[in-house]
Amino acid sequence: MQRIHPLEGDTVRVGLLGFGTVGSSFAEVLAAQAEAGVRITRVFNRGVERKRLHAKATFVPRDAVWTERVEEVLGAADVDVVVELMGGLDPAEGWLRSALQAGKHVVTANKQLIAFRGGELFALAAERGVQLLYGAAVAGGVPVIPGVAQGLCGDEVTRISGILNGTCNFILSSMETGAEYGEALSRAQAAGYAEADPSADVDGLDARAKLCILARLALHAEIDPEEIPAETIARIAAVDFAYAKELGCTLRQVSRAELQDGMVSASVGPMLAPRSSPIAWSHGTQNMVVTSGRFGGDVVFSGQGAGGHPTAVAVLSDVRAIAEKSAQVRLSARRMKVKGDAVAPHYLRFVVADEPGIVAAIAGVLARHGVNIDCLLQHRGYPAERLPFVITTEPCPSSTVRRAVAEMAAMRFMVQPPLCLRMLIVNDTERD
């Protein structure tokens, strides 16, 4: 049993780093639970006077100390738990190391920090006899972290699949009704789901970090986030949803990791998901995680993955676990290499200036690379100078089909580079 640093008194005192969307929501959620046994004693933020005028600052106790000096929180005698809600690797890593060294418990929602530096920080927490909890780092208010760590630690999980970014899910489910990518992105930004620079979300970097965290917990695999191939959703168009519907599918940003021959096959990017798969059922900012276990079969976690309140619920749950002196389940993990290739059917969408022989030329390239065509789809009503059509392939390695696509991209009739997406099969996400 891990030795836990003792808490003094009946109330857990929190030093809050960050009073933005999640930090202010944490104060609000905490204020609604008078019996929680948790109290904010200090708040750190830049421009602290401005933050004290925030409408939700009224949820912070009047006697709490507001400061622009982080040291006044990390070393304070009236702080038992440091709650870090500012994000990023630097300076957050140094702050959390200081807090742990000082014997403070730490709760964070920082997925990048846990993905890239988690192993070192967990070791430091164990050495100092304190807890480092991060339930809000993946899927917002969905309790997937404690669910996997505690609820599934008795199983042998071999695969994780899911939707780990609420912003991308909002964009793609908006496009499902006919919106183009730019319009759907603007809606997400107006609703506060997407940043002015949305690249971390739409290019898969956010989901990639979360996938690493889940792989450490569920697969006991320590993997480098930068080894996981991540593809953008920015090239998806409304026409792809029309073709996907004809194929009995929809499009989602899918994160996937599976143990294979001592390695982890992992990827993040837009994929076609069959409508019979749970992954296709998630809309708006919902997150969904499907774990596949050797003995327990599939388990599905689903709920709101974005927004201040859902994330604040997960943060407060971690703080209350510390207040109740709940010991973490310690799971071992070993370093593994990432295999980005996978055998699957593929969806190829072309936009061409029409002329005779196009299909024969594309089929010839695919044949030379050993890729078999499954079907060809073409809808009427598009101009001949910009004609979209789709070819799906039989299962083949992603690396093989991408080499073929790279060769086809240079053909004179291509108006834009072909789009190549993996197609999930039902047993990719559900065991029979």
336: Cβ–Cβ under 8 A, 6 or more apart, which residues? 221, 222, 223, 262, 263, 264
Exposure letters 205-222 (e unless 16+ CB within 10 A, then b)? bbbbbbbbbbbbbbbbbb
Same fold, 144-304 and 343-425: no
Sequential DSSP letters for 327-395:
PPPP---EE--EE---EE-EEEEEEE---TTHHHHHHHHHHHTT--EEEEE--SSS-GGGEEEEEEE-S
- Look at residue 306 and tell me whether its pLDDT is greater than 80: no
Residue with the larger pLDDT of the pair 431 and 360: 360
Q: How confident is the model at residue 328 (pLDDT cuts 50, 70, 90)?
A: confident
Least confident interval from 87-101, 325-339, 392-406: 325-339
Least confident interval from 39-48, 263-272, 317-326: 317-326
Point out which residues pair with 396 in neighbouring strands: 344
- Look at residue 285 and tell me whether its pLDDT is greater than 50: yes
**Judging by beta carbons within 10 Å of its beta carbon (0-12, 13-18, 19+), is residue 193 exposed, middle or buried?**
buried
Spatial separation of the C-alpha atoms in residues 46 and 161, rounded to whole Å: 38
Spatial separation of the C-alpha atoms in residues 2 and 331, rounded to whole Å: 12
**336-392 per-position pLDDT tens digit:** 999 988 999 999 999 999 999 999 999 999 999 999 999 999 999 999 999 999 999
Of 79, 82, 76, which Cα lies nearest the Cα of 18? 82
Of 147, 141, 163, 139, which Cα lies nearest the Cα of 429? 163
Looking at residue 4, its pLDDT comes to 45
Least confident interval from 1-10, 98-107, 246-255: 1-10
Q: How confident is the model at residue 140 (pLDDT cuts 50, 70, 90)?
A: confident
Spatial separation of the C-alpha atoms in residues 390 and 407, rounded to whole Å: 17
Looking at residue 413, its pLDDT comes to 97
Looking at residue 9, its pLDDT comes to 61
* Architecture of domain 144-304 in this structure: 2-Layer Sandwich (3.30)
Looking at residue 432, its pLDDT comes to 35
Beta strand 38-44 with 81-84: parallel, antiparallel or unpaired? unpaired
Of 296, 270, 235, which Cα lies nearest the Cα of 421? 270
Q: Mean pLDDT, the chain, as a whole number? A: 93
Could you state, in order of their start, the residue ranges of all structural domains in the chain?
12-137, 144-304, 343-425
pTM for this model (two decimals): 0.91
Question: Which CATH number is correct for 343-425, 3.40.50.300, 3.40.640.10, 3.30.70.260, 3.40.50.2000?
Answer: 3.30.70.260
Spatial separation of the C-alpha atoms in residues 168 and 210, rounded to whole Å: 14
92: Cβ–Cβ under 8 A, 6 or more apart, which residues? 17, 84, 86, 108, 110, 113
In this prediction, residues 305-327 reach a mean pLDDT of: 89
Q: How confident is the model at residue 431 (pLDDT cuts 50, 70, 90)?
A: very low
State yes or no: cis peptide before 91, omega within 30 of 0.
yes
Type and span of the H or E element at 30: helix 21-31
- Look at residue 167 and tell me whether its pLDDT is greater than 80: yes
Respond yes or no: is residue 245 known to be catalytic: no
- The catalytic position among 56, 111, 210, 337 is 210
**Judging by beta carbons within 10 Å of its beta carbon (0-12, 13-18, 19+), is residue 28 exposed, middle or buried?**
middle
Question: Do the Cβ atoms of 319 and 107 come closer than 8 Å?
Answer: yes
Q: How confident is the model at residue 415 (pLDDT cuts 50, 70, 90)?
A: very high
Q: How confident is the model at residue 190 (pLDDT cuts 50, 70, 90)?
A: very high
Looking at residue 430, its pLDDT comes to 44
Looking at residue 426, its pLDDT comes to 62
CATH topology of domain 12-137: Rossmann fold (3.40.50)
**Judging by beta carbons within 10 Å of its beta carbon (0-12, 13-18, 19+), is residue 339 exposed, middle or buried?**
middle
Q: How confident is the model at residue 428 (pLDDT cuts 50, 70, 90)?
A: low
**198-226 per-position pLDDT tens digit:** 999 999 999 999 999 999 999 999 999 99
